[in-house]
Amino acid sequence: MPYFFYGFIFLTLHFKNLNMSIILNIETATKNCSVALAKEGKTIACKEIAEQNFSHAEKLHVFIEELLAENNLQFSDLNAIAVSQGPGSYTGLRIGVSSAKGFCYALNIPMIAIDTLQLLAKQIQIEEGIIIPMIDARRMEVFTAFYDKNHNQIRSTQAEIIDETSYQEISETIHLVGDGTEKFKNTLTDDKFVFHSGVVFPSANEMSQLSFDKYKISDFVDVAYFEPYYLKDFVLSK
């Protein structure tokens, strides 16, 4: 039988497997401990809890086991693990990434990294302007990036100190989301600023399509060498 025929069968089975992918999504970069199961890029179940004191170490594995059991799935059914890569809490990121690495090693499946700020940006839909998600760092510092109305990143991730002069060069509407925005309501008072107070923490629910898109093109990270995005050089220099 011609070799091209075997190649055709391989590709057909490969894409069929991609279309049936089940991905476990883990988000622990902030106070929200969030886990979602996704099939073909759609969330089928999600568990999360946001508490003042980090409970990720206690809750994360319990949530994962409950999600699998409630959806009649086994760990062996998973095709990949996706994890929020930061920026965010050092403790939270270490817990999430360490767990993801452990599952990937044990199951021999790939790991996918998703930008945490993008998960915040994707929680709102806008017609015009830009989205600036903010994750609280400390004092007047936040982790930020810029996203357009289609949730494409248009400015790199930075750690910023926000004051009354911030973003003066931007004339269009600025949509602010995340737990870092609350402390700036009396600082960023121009009419161009729109505070979406209902969007506080990133969620694994927003990871489903993003992780599936990366899975389809085999955009994986090296499990052995991957490290979360702490932006720690900025934090330690302050």
Query: Domain spans of the chain?
Result: 3-116+202-237, 118-195
Reading the block at residue 131, the tokens are 């989205």
* 212 pLDDT more than 80: yes
- Give the per-residue pLDDT at 176: 98
Query: According to the model, what pLDDT value does residue 79 have?
Result: 98
At 210, the pLDDT band (50, 70, 90 cuts) reads very high
Q: 87 phi and psi, to 5 degrees?
A: -75, 165
Determine the average pLDDT of the residues in 212-230: 95
Of 3.30.750.24, 3.30.420.200, 3.40.50.720, 3.30.70.141, the CATH number of 118-195 is 3.30.420.200
pLDDT of residue 158: 92
Would you state the structure tokens that stand for residue 73, as one six-digit string?
């799935």
Instruction: State the pLDDT at residue 59.
Output: 92
pLDDT averaged over every residue in the chain = 89
Q: What is the CATH number of domain 3-116+202-237?
A: 3.30.420.40
Give the pLDDT mean for 206-217: 97
Average pLDDT score over residue span 165-172: 96
